[in-house]
Chains A and B, each alone.
Chain A
Amino acid sequence: MTVVGQGTDVESAITIIAQTTPDVVLLDVHLPGGNAHAVLTGCAHLRDTTRFLALSVSDAPADVIGVVRLGARGYVTKNIDPEDLADAIRRVASGDAVFSPHLAGFVLDAFQGAPAQSDDELNRLTPREKDVMRLIARGFTYREVAGELFVSVKTVETHMSAVLRKLQLSNRHELTQWAQAHHIY
């Protein structure tokens, strides 16, 4: 794992990312001169080659959901262990999603409530995905989740990627309401 660049604010971040095209960008949610949203929108054209892992001190819903909806592949908090952080970076690099317990909690909260029958599959979580999110929210590691559900770690990662996709693409009415209630948009 090599660090190829470091940006200090929104402008320099976008420039350096465009120049160096890293595999993973570790992105702080609050930057001088703007926030992660600006960087994510500015680098939207690189979405296929570069993946973003959001990092923040806060667990505020606005920060968390906002960056995920804009394309971040995962979210970790700043008091994470260094080994866990390296692990998270590797996961994001290989295309998987990284959920902090708080993000999992928000997902469960946002997708709560019985959806209508005709609701698009994208707008609700399957029971299995809910189980995975619940275990993540309870503080289980991926390995522990796999052990608890008697599946492989790869299966857990697949479920989490699916949930991430739903979170990013869902146009569910309740999700918007929930986001408004939490002052996201």
Chain B
Amino acid sequence: MPTSPPRAMRIPTGRWIGGVSTGLSQHLGWPLPVVRTGFLVLALANGFGIVLYLALWAVMPLRRSPQSRRDTDFARLIAFGAIVVGVAALVVGGFSALGTYVLPIVVLGLGLAILWQQFGPGGRLDLVEDKYRWTRSILGVTLVMAGFITLLVSEIGWLQGLRTLGVLLLIVGGAAILALPWILRIYRSQAEQRRDLIREQERLDIAVQVHDSVLQTLTLIQANAQDPAQVSRLARTEERRLRTWLYQPEDTAEVTVASAIRATAAQVELDYGAVVDIVSVGECPVDSRTDALVAAATEALVNAAKHAGPQAPISVYSEASSDSISIYVRDHGPGFDVDAIPGDRHGVRESIVGRLRRSGGRAVVLSSPTGTEIQLELPLEASSAPSES
């Protein structure tokens, strides 16, 4: 038998009633069904099992976990207790007691248990968030009222019962009206607190972002002030990162062609110190065929970055419609003679034009002394499935 913990505890997970069986089973090292059967057998022996169960419930503390709410425990005790008392009344008083005592007590107990669970010290008072909140509250109140009225009526008869009930309602109603402002104030202050919490969280998020990236970049820039290329690169990287964080927070996953292009352009900027400006229209999910398109566009970007010089930015325009997707990569460099590329050299001819043609697309390279534009087009099948990559 493993060394037992210093004290037996009731375990809330996997319990049926109070966790006494589960706790005991773990403490003594006995299998759970044995313990439960034991209690059942003892319960039949003149109710000894029930008494023992309740006694152990009182003595054994509940093992707390962060998720468990403290007062579901008390609620369960009430419910169970009510059922037990009801059954006891039944056994003692015979079946005539069923209508008069047992049922009302059980109902009353259940109602109290529900209400305690909702509004007891452990429960949260946010009436707005849980849509079953109102149903449960009303159910609880109804049960309590039903149980109470039945008990009352069975004691003093209908007429007296109704009169008493009327008086009681007046008292309770008056008290509720008196308490209403106080309750509203508590509710409102809770909402206010929650709002403040959210605001504080936002502020912390921003502070972290600024500290982690922006401050560090500014420090690096100061340290590298002699190297203009490095400074420019650092500034550009940080600008892009901040811009993405501010304006395109959903852009992190590369699930659309546009975001894949943005990612690859960022890498090109980093590697070659270029500046890439991206405009995208429409959305297209990534799949194996668009991979070829993105690869060709990357190649085009690299070419532009290598040969166009750092002066003017490289413009990328991507347009996705339902039947095709086009990408245009444009730079303002010195241009080159497309036809003069020898056929055996890889580069423009193979990696861009050839690759795209193999995927069923089309690539056109236009170059002049004022700049180069590479136009990539890929028709999409009407029934293309979304990304598997």
Contacts and interface: CB of A to CB of B under 8 A. Distances in A.
A137 B243 contact: no
A180 interface: no
Given A134-B319, A138-B328, A105 B277 contact: no
Given A138-B317, A139-B330, A105 B247 contact: no
A92 B313 CA distance: 24
A101 B243 contact: no
Interface string A59-101: 1100000000000000000000000000000000000000001
A109 to B, nearest CB: 5
A108 B319 contact: yes
B243 A105 contact: no
A109 B282 CA distance: 6
A58 B239 CA distance: 10
Contacts of B315: 101, 138-139
Interface residues of B, number: 16
A166 interface: no
Contacts of A112: 281-282, 321
Contacts of B373: 138
Contacts of B313: 139
B247 A101 contact: no
B279 interface: yes
B281 A139 contact: no
B207 interface: no
A13 interface: no
A25 interface: no
Interface in B194-248: 243, 246-247
B267 interface: no
Given A112-B281, A112-B282, A105 B246 contact: no
B247 A60 contact: yes
Contacts of A102: 279
Interface in B312-337: 313, 315, 317, 319, 321, 328, 330
B281 A101 contact: no
Interface in A28-55: none
A102 B279 CA distance: 6
Interface in A129-163: 134, 137-140
B247 A104 contact: no
Contacts of B243: 58-59
B256 interface: no
Interface in B254-294: 277, 279-282
A138 B373 CA distance: 10
A104 B319 CA distance: 12
Contacts of B282: 109, 112
Contact of B279 (A58, A60, A104): A104
B274 to A, nearest CB: 14
Contacts of A108: 281, 319
Nearest to A59: B247
Contacts of B317: 101, 105, 134, 137-139
B247 A138 contact: no
The listed residue with most B CB atoms (<10 A of its CB), out of A59, A104, A138, A139, is: A139
A60 B313 CA distance: 19
B246 A58 contact: yes
Given A105-B279, A105-B281, A112-B281, A58 B247 contact: yes
Contacts of B280: 105
Interface string A95-124: 000000110110011001000000000000
A109 B281 contact: yes
Given A101-B315, A101-B317, A105-B317, A137 B279 contact: yes
Contacts of B328: 138
Contacts of B319: 108, 134, 137
B246 A101 contact: no
B234 to A, nearest CB: 16
Contacts of B330: 138-140
B320 to A, nearest CB: 10
A134 B280 CA distance: 10
A109 B321 CA distance: 10
B244 to A, nearest CB: 11
Contacts of B281: 105, 108-109, 112, 137
Contacts of A109: 281-282
Nearest to A63: B247
A86 to B, nearest CB: 17
Given A58-B247, A134-B317, A137-B317, 20 more contacts: A58-B243, A59-B243, A59-B247, A60-B246, A60-B247, A101-B277, A101-B315, A101-B317, A102-B279, A105-B317, A108-B319, A109-B281, A109-B282, A112-B321, A134-B319, A138-B279, A138-B317, A139-B277, A139-B330, A140-B330
5 contacts: A60-B247, A105-B317, A138-B279, A138-B317, A139-B315
Pairs A-B, 3 closest by C-beta atoms: A139-B315, A105-B279, A138-B317
